[in-house]
Amino acid sequence: MKPDQQYPDKPLSVYFFGTCLIDLIYPQAGLAGMQLIQREGVKVIFPQDQTCCGQPAWNSGYREQARSVALAQLDCFPQDIPIVVPSASCAGMMRYQYPELFKDTPQLSRVKGFSNRVFELTEFLVHVLKVKLKDLGPPTRVALHASCSAQREMAVSEEHSNLLQQLDNVEILEQERKRECCGFGGTFAVKHAEISNAMVEDKAKSIADTGAEKLVSGDCGCLMNISGNLQHTGQGPEGQHIATFLWERTNATES
């Protein structure tokens, strides 16, 4: 967590912002995230009108388009309750970049009110719900990739580890150059494919070299990138969103 971050008491209900990548590619991660919250006795609301946080346009310089999409999201989450996001990248966009995006606009104070309610999933589980996880799975060894947003912008990589460490049968294996970016960077991966490819090859190799059985990450952009390369080379572990991993290991009704 950031030194100045304040967390609310456990609420009765929360909003869930699923992110567009999870919506289309990793919906199970979104579902698991909601189930982890529900299990703590908190009601989850998933507004059906939500789409994307707007980050792709914001990082490409198309601010007007990013603002339209951001405003559409603001309309979906009107109640004064936390908004939980299973991605540090999208959460960072909504918490820290929205106020930049709306700087010098009449919407700024409304945007700030929204941004202050945004929490990344693992920080919410640790600091607000204060979850205690009971590991039901067999012994396993995993590599954790905390995204750049998780490490820096949101400062929640400790919370990722905290949750994994609560699982008695899970060992976290350290990879070389753990803090280095995987090379995704949104449109960067397409605009500068050759550099991105060089970066993901290095990252995937350092993860494969750990001998881990699973790659766990809190961000699906990185997962899609790193797992994509691991599947391409046929080396290394399967990737999983941290929410799916935590849910599968702690849910009594799943095998």
Partner 1 sequence: MQQKVEFEQRVHKALSDSQLRQNFRSTMDGLMAKRSQAFPDKERLEKLRLQGAQIRANALLKLPELLEQLEERCTANGIRVHWAETVEQANQAVLKIMQDHNATNLIKGKSMVSEEMELNHFLEQHGIEVLESDLGEFIVQLAGEPPSHIVAPAIHKSRQDIARLFQEKFPDIPYSEDVETLTRSARDILRRKFYEASIGLSGVNFAVAETGTICLVENEGNGRMCTTIPDVHIAVTGIEKVVEKLSDIPPLMELLPRSATGQHITTYFNMITSPRKEGEKDGPREVHLVLLDNGRSSIYEDPELMESLRCIRCGACMNHCPVYARIGGHAYGTTIPGPIGSVIEPQKLGLDRFGVLPTASTLCGACGEACPVRIPLPKLLNRLRFEQVRDDPPDNTMGKGSQRSIRESLVWNLWSWANTHPALYRLGCLFLTRLRGLVPKQLGVWTRVRKAPAIAPKTLHELAREMGIEDE
Q: Token pair for residue 71?
A: 């405003």
Q: How far is the CB of 228 from partner 1 (least distance, A)?
A: 3
Return the CA Rg of the chain.
Answer: 18
Min CB(199)–partner 1 separation in Å: 6
Please report how close the Cβ of residue 219 comes to partner 1 at its closest, in angstroms: 12
In 3D space, the residue among 167, 169, 144, 168 whose CA is nearest the CA of residue 157 turns out to be 144
> Phi and psi (nearest 5°) for 24?
-95, -35
Centre a 10 Å sphere on the Cβ of residue 120 and count the other Cβ atoms it contains: 30
CA–CA distance, 84 with 15 (Å, rounded to integer): 6
Closest by alpha carbon to 28, among 237, 233, 251?
251
Element (H, E) at 145: strand 140-145
Looking only at the bridges linking them, the beta strands covering 43-45 and 13-16 are parallel
In the complex, the smallest distance separating the C-beta of residue 18 from partner 1, rounded to whole angstroms, is 4
- Alpha-carbon distance of 29 to 102, in angstroms, equals 30
Please say which residue, 12 or 132, places its beta carbon nearer to partner 1: 12
Nearer to partner 1, 127 or 205 (CB): 205
User: Closer to partner 1 at the Cβ: 56 or 135?
Assistant: 56
Instruction: State the DSSP code for 56.
Output: H
Of the pair 151, 210, the CB lying nearest partner 1 is at 151
- Whether the CB-CB separation of 141 and 216 falls below 8 Å is answered with no
Cβ at position 249, least distance to partner 1 in Å: 20
Compare residues 148 and 246 and give the one whose CB is closer to partner 1: 148
Looking at the Cβ atoms of 170 and 222, the one nearer to partner 1 is: 222
